Amino acid sequence: MKKTLGIISLVLFLVSAVFGIREMFFVGSWLGYSVMLFLLTASLPSVIGFILSFFTKKGALKVVGMLGNGAIMFLTVVLPLAANIVWPLQ
């Protein structure tokens, strides 16, 4: 059961990484119509995968799940929020 949670966490990391890179670099801007799509495809799977990685047994799946999903969360959630605080939208 715990190994399955690790595999799910790893799959969610890969999904959020692929769709996050796609949304950030190939679709357009973070503003406008694609904000909700960006949050659903890049941010939400990484948050769920990060939480699931806490429940996996010790090993490579736990490390990859925590570091990978944490990095994606930082790039898709924390960094845009911090940038919005420093440079608010007009």
- Phi and psi torsions of 26, nearest 5°: -115, -20
SS3 (DSSP) at 90: coil
Answer whether residue 27 shows pLDDT above 80.
no
Of 75, 54, 74, the C-alpha closest to 65 is 54
Mean pLDDT for all residues in the chain: 81
Domain ranges (residues) in the chain: 2-86
> What pLDDT, in 10s, does the model give residues 33-67?
566 777 777 788 888 999 999 999 888 888 988 99
Question: Residue 17: its pLDDT value, please?
Answer: 85
Confidence of residue 77 (pLDDT cuts 50, 70, 90): confident
Burial of 28 (0-12, 13-18, 19+ CB in 10 A): exposed
Confidence of residue 32 (pLDDT cuts 50, 70, 90): low
